[in-house]
Amino acid sequence: MSYFITYKNAKIHFTDEGTGEVILLLHGFLENATMWNDLAYQLIKTHRVVCVDLLGHGKSESLGYIHTMETMADALFSVLQHLKIERVTIIGHSMGGYVSLALLEAHPNLINALCSMNSTAAADSREKKRNRDRAILAVKNNYETFVSLSIANLFRPKSKTLYKEAYKNVKLEALKTPVQSIIASLEGMKIRKDRLELFKKSSLRKLVILGKKDAILDCKLQRSYYENSDVKIVELPDGHMNHIENNKEFTYIAIHFIET
Tens of pLDDT, residue by residue over 77-130, are: 999 999 999 999 999 999 999 999 999 999 999 999 999 999 999 999 999 999
What pLDDT score was predicted for residue 260?
84
Average pLDDT, the chain: 97
Class for domain 2-259, per CATH?
Answer: alpha beta
**Residue 180 burial by Cβ neighbours in a 10 Å radius (0-12, 13-18, 19+):** middle
Answer whether residue 55 shows pLDDT above 90.
yes
Tens of pLDDT, residue by residue over 161-193, are: 999 999 999 999 999 999 999 999 999 999 999
| Contact between residue 240 and residue 183 where contact means Cβ atoms under 8 Å apart | no
Domain ranges of the chain: 2-259
Angle (deg, nearest 10), helices 95-106 and 179-190? 60
